[in-house]
Chain A
Amino acid sequence: MAGVGVKRLQAMVWFALLVLTVCAAGAHGLYFHIGETEKRCFIEEIPDETMVIGNYRTQMWDKQKEVFLPSTPGLGMHVEVKDPDGKVVLSRQYGSEGRFTFTSHTPGDHQICLHSNSTRMALFAGGKLRVHLDIQVGEHANNYPEIAAKDKLTELQLRARQLLDQVEQIQKEQDYQRYREERFRLTSESTNQRVLWWSIAQTVILILTGIWQMRHLKSFFEAKKLV
């Protein structure tokens, strides 16, 4: 009898922990303020085939009460993600609370832009919006308790999985480093070439212009009968 009661209490505590964890995840520590139609962009320099997960939550400023409302339905945020070539990877409208995911197919600087397109703000909010944002890249994006439950892994297997993920991320970053270094080297060699050829060209032009000047002036002075 007592054993059943204890088990029930344990289940309740587990449930409470789960709920609180979910709520804490929804708290999204870091936040900043943006204006009405202001666009905020963040840059993520990532190797290819890397997953990026972004969570955000918005709160509207209540002018009368002078506090931020806990949640406002009807607020929309537009999320736009551009890859290093400027191509749009993701361009979607989400609600006041959302989660966006994308996987990079080219290595480099990806730009994540957020802006609110809500026009209600001008009327009610006094133009201020609080945005909680959390962007997780690569291995940090993995949810290990979920993976453990899905693949039924023991603790040691889960730790090994985490280490494998970390090593994979390091490998990807090193490949990306090699690609960046090659680009850097090409740029430096191009600068070297340009400096060389332009210097030669300018010296040649200088000499030719000098010769032209002298010849032109000589013929001018001969015409003037001064020489």
Chain B
Amino acid sequence: MGSEAPSASSFQMLLLLLLLLLRAERLRGAELTFELPDNAKQCFHEEVEQGVKFSLDYQVITGGHYDVDCYVQDPLGNVIYRETKKQYDSFTHRTEVKGVYLFCFSNEFSTFSHKTVYFDFQVGDEPPILPDMGNRVTALTQMESACVTIHEALKTVIDSQTHYRLREAQDRARAEDLNSQVSYWSVGETIALFVVSFSQVLLLKSFFTEKRPLNRAVHS
């Protein structure tokens, strides 16, 4: 490290300045899971530069029919993406305008089911691991390019693990719901069975009983 010759150090400086300017293109990622109450809408904003590619992945994990409305708006107010009642989707866009982009999830069509929604908003490309690695003059060595390849592959593995985890969470929530529902419905049915059988007997008996001054009306 350091400058052996003045020309090399000034070159390094220029590259540093270039890195400063390119800083805006750094990867920013937000991956959040939040609860969306019924009849509610939640919006998130992010400031994005011009000409940068961003992607939004979202998935509904629990609640109702596992669907949600989503729309994305650019800084000028144009809706660049709108979907209703989607379970999961992925949307990528290259920005034409610099500014604050807005994406909203709406559960306003549902009256009683609150939903859990996961979204992953990625902007730009991944930055180098060290700030000064952006000013490479030479090409990567074999070791380094192997490391980069492995890193990319592991990122894919982590991404697919995330998707698998979300699917599994969804299925597990359904299975646990089913488990408790089976209990409630069985108890309810047993009670209904007793009530109906007793009422049938009482009603039948009332047909064959002499009419008394006090009218015993039995409803089953």
* A residues whose Cβ falls under 8 Å from a Cβ of B: 2-3, 6-7, 9-10, 13-14, 16-17, 20-21, 24, 27, 29-33, 40-45, 133-135, 137, 140, 144-145, 148, 155-156, 158-160, 162-163, 166-167, 169-170, 173-174, 176-177, 180-181, 183-184, 187-188, 190-191, 194-195, 198, 201-202, 205-206, 209-210, 212-213, 216-217, 220-221, 224, 226
Question: How many contacts between A and B, using CB within 8 angstroms?
Answer: 175
A162 touches B169 (CB 8 A): no
* B residues whose Cβ falls under 8 Å from a Cβ of A: 3, 6, 9-10, 12-13, 16-17, 19-20, 23, 26, 28-35, 42-47, 116, 121, 123, 129-131, 133, 143-144, 147-148, 150-151, 154-155, 157-158, 161, 164-165, 168-169, 171-172, 175-176, 178-179, 182-183, 186, 189-190, 193-194, 197, 200-201, 204-205, 208
Docked complex Cα distance between A166 and B29 (Å): 17
Chain A residues contacting B43 (CB-CB under 8 Å) are: 32-33
Please give the distance in Å from A43's CB to the nearest CB on chain B: 4
A159 touches B32 (CB 8 A): no
Check A187/B13 contact, CB under 8 A, given A144-B130, A163-B147, A166-B154. no
Q: Is the interface of A mostly helix, strand, loop or mixed?
A: helix
Check A29/B123 contact, CB under 8 A, given A10-B12, A159-B151. yes
B172 touches A217 (CB 8 A): no
Chain B residues contacting A144 (CB-CB under 8 Å) are: 129-130
Other A-B pairs, 20, CB within 8 Å; known A20-B20, A166-B154: A3-B3, A6-B3, A6-B6, A6-B13, A21-B131, A24-B23, A30-B121, A40-B34, A44-B33, A45-B33, A133-B30, A144-B130, A145-B130, A155-B144, A156-B144, A159-B129, A180-B165, A190-B179, A198-B186, A205-B193
